Structure 1
Amino acid sequence: MGGTQSLALPQVKGPHPVGCADVMVGHTRQGLFLRLFYPCLPRAGAERPLWIPRYEYCGGLADFALLSRRWCAPLLSVAIGSCRVPVSWKGPFKPCSSGYPLIIFSHGLGAFRTLYSSVCSELASWGFVVAALEHRDHSASVTYFCPAEAGREEWIPYQRVPQGQKEFYFRNKQDSVDLTKVAAMGHSFGGVTAVLALVKEPGFSCAVALDAWMFPLENSLYPEVPKPVLFINTEKFQTPESVAKMKRLSSRNSQTKIITILGSVHQSQTDFAFLTGKLINRIFSARGTLDPYKGLDITSRAALAFLQRHLHLEEDFDQWVNLLEGIGDSVVPEAPFCRSNL
């Protein structure tokens, strides 16, 4: 597309139209905030939600990128503020007599609930309800809650590791997710959160970790991970040390799989990969050499095959089971190419 700006997020490929809605439970920072993606009934002229839901998130992204909020936030607002997610805002829920399986999605450091709309809506189109959390532990670029008595939002900024404090212990404390539903999924810091959820909550059957940042997971926890994990890595992010941690898990559970998508970078598994333009690419390093639509196909199909196997679904997602062994175009088993340092 040259230097032109594209604001198109991908259309879903599954058999179900997708709706989404925001859910906020509780009036304190201990409450729950998430965007829910779900199969919905088709509705003509349905409103499509903004991808960046509030201007304040542009400021949060600027802060996370260590750029001046004064000039970067307005530029981001102009560049991506009009982008909409191709799903039905508050579309009518599509009834399902057997009930949809549930995926809890955890974002990476400096992200928030809408930045993985492409993969979340794609999975919803195949018959899942996906709850994309927005964390209030200072790991989001910014978030907010609505105190009952104040009548306005209270915003929570991203928090960097305080000077003089070791990052391992700081980030490990932020990994406090206690979820009770079927499958956990996440990207980067959210990927290791999904793995940790298997330790903390026995209700999870499995986890899908997108380019997991394994650093915060304590060594003592590896023997405690009881369920299978699918690690879907990008080519340019992982280190030998991180992959060694993944292999420790796969050596304990033969159903844990590790694959790498060639031509991808860390941000390839976020929506930024679909937003071309020099500003976005310079700030977020979002473009690998692989076509992002192809990358999304590999990620979602591998996840679907894995989820069918471990959630015991009666679907035909096993048509993509070869991906779990790293067999296919632009995918390889394990992680043959690792950077030596972060």
Structure 2
Amino acid sequence: MAVNPGWRQSGMLQGIGLPVPSGPHQVGCVDVMPLCKGDDSGLLFRLYYPTEATPDSGYHYPPWLPDNSYSTGFLLYKRFPYFAAGVLGPLTNMLLGGQKMPALHGAPVTTSTPLPVIMFSHGVAGMRTLYSAVCCDLASHGYLVAAIEHRDHSAGYCYTKHRKNGSEEFVDHWIPYDKPPSSFEEEHTFRVPQLTIRRKEILLGLDFIHQLDGSGEFENLLQSDFDFKQFKGKLDLVHTAMMGHSFGGATTVTALADDKRFRVGIGLDTYMMPVEDGIEDKVEQPLLFINTWNWQWYKNIIKMKQLVDVDSQTDKYPTRQLITLRGSYHEDQSDVGFVYMSTPLSSVNPDLANIHTANMKLCVAFLNRHLWNDSTYPVKDLDESDTDSSGIVYHGTNVEIESKS
């Protein structure tokens, strides 16, 4: 694929608020709600992919919030009570109404080689655009990233379309966020059925990606002028990865266990507690956990330890790896901090930019090493060789486990 070196130097993305993707390619995006076999209400994705388009060619950077209604869900992600989130939603929408994402909406797909695929799963109270910084960065490195919006009542806001009175006409149907029990232990049980739904959606979603590459034809419940046949024969379905944040990390581990079409997995600050016991016997693929410094706890790490030996990180290229980012917080792996920078709503981690840079370099390095066997990306040495990540990347966990085991 041809690369426009002036794109990154021109400041074209200045003022958008989210970081400029680090890869060599510009990024396009489009929403899609395909009807899928086994689910008559469709699935909802935002697709991110490489493009050579520019705003000068008639394409624009879309609003970060997909719709005004999503402002309530955004506040839920920030742990506001449900009632307060509903009341403050209009204010949030006013403050964030001008926020854009660094991907050109509806831009044509441009690639000279088939695009490897990454499925991305959001966390509790998330949505398909909450991780646009991560997804755009990966797409800029030549991936098709399919960010799903889950219908398990864990999304802050989500909708589907139902047939109206048995006719062929579709109408929007809101899927509310279900407030979990107040007890931490009860919440784990509460999340298990949701994880089952998420698993089904991810596997149906990967089936859709295969259909997109095969015929390029499907029924899209969203009105769109985008020609999805552009993806026909342009997807690399061998090099496919699964990725997610928090509850999306649990979804990632479950998907790896259930579907070997996923060749590698990355969990960002994974919420392990809803994951079934014994899943370590079913996960065969390389797996990277990138945790934040201020969110993980003993029981969660113990479940994670069943999948990766946190005490033995001496191998330069381990297929199972646990890394923790010093000074980071749970939401630092989402767009929240970047979006809040331009508002008075919340304080922002002053080291957020460096944390995001380290996070993405770790992800790209792991994918290159274990999807492509590229030894020029040693994850083990990233913190030693890269000044942007120096002092942030910590191999293992900062959670005390020895004294409690």
How much has 1:288 moved relative to structure 2?
Answer: 3.0
Match for 2:69: what amino acid? Answer: E
In structure 2, the partner of 1:48 is 61
Aligned length: 328
Q: Percent identity of the aligned residues? A: 34
How much has 1:161 moved relative to structure 2?
Answer: 2.8
Q: 2:358 aligns with which of 298, 302, 306?
A: 298
Partner Cα separation in structure 1 for residue 332 and residue 343 of structure 2? 16
How much has 1:167 moved relative to structure 2?
Answer: 2.2
1:140 equivalenced with 2:155 (yes/no): yes
CA shift digits 1:159-208 (9 cap, x unpaired): 12358993222211111324346110000000111011111111111110
In structure 1, the partner of 2:382 is 323
Q: Secondary structure at the match of 1:153?
A: strand
CA shift digits 1:97-127 (9 cap, x unpaired): 3x11110000000010001000100111011
How much has 1:69 moved relative to structure 2?
Answer: 4.3
In structure 2, the partner of 1:272 is 336
In structure 1, the partner of 2:73 is 60
Partner Cα separation in structure 2 for residue 207 and residue 325 of structure 1? 24
CA shift digits 1:109-167 (9 cap, x unpaired): 00100010001001110111101100011010110112243543111011123589932
Whichever of the two has the greater Rg, that structure is: 2
In structure 2, the partner of 1:74 is 90
Q: Is the 8 A contact 2:120 2:146 kept in 1?
A: yes
Gaps of 5+ in 2: 1-14, 207-236, 313-317
1:219 equivalenced with 2:277 (yes/no): yes
Change (3 A) 1:336 1:278: same
Match for 1:271: what amino acid? Answer: D
In structure 1, the partner of 2:372 is 312
1:242 equivalenced with 2:277 (yes/no): no
Q: Secondary structure at the match of 1:55?
A: coil
1:1-342 alignment, distance < 5 Å: 8-26=17-35, 30-45=41-56, 46-62=59-75, 65-66=80-81, 67-97=83-113, 99-149=114-164, 150-161=169-180, 166-176=186-196, 177=199, 178-179=202-203, 180=206, 182-251=240-309, 254-274=318-338, 275-276=340-341, 279-281=344-346, 287-290=348-351, 292-312=352-372, 318=377, 322-323=381-382, 328-337=390-399
TM, length-normalised to structure 2? 0.74
Change (3 A) 1:321 1:127: farther
Q: Is the 8 A contact 1:60 1:157 kept in 2?
A: no
Partner Cα separation in structure 1 for residue 353 and residue 180 of structure 2? 34
Partner Cα separation in structure 2 for residue 234 and residue 151 of structure 1? 42
How much has 1:302 moved relative to structure 2?
Answer: 0.6
Deviates more, 1:143-152 or 1:116-125: 143-152
Gaps of 5+ in 1: 1-5
Partner Cα separation in structure 1 for residue 134 and residue 255 of structure 2? 20
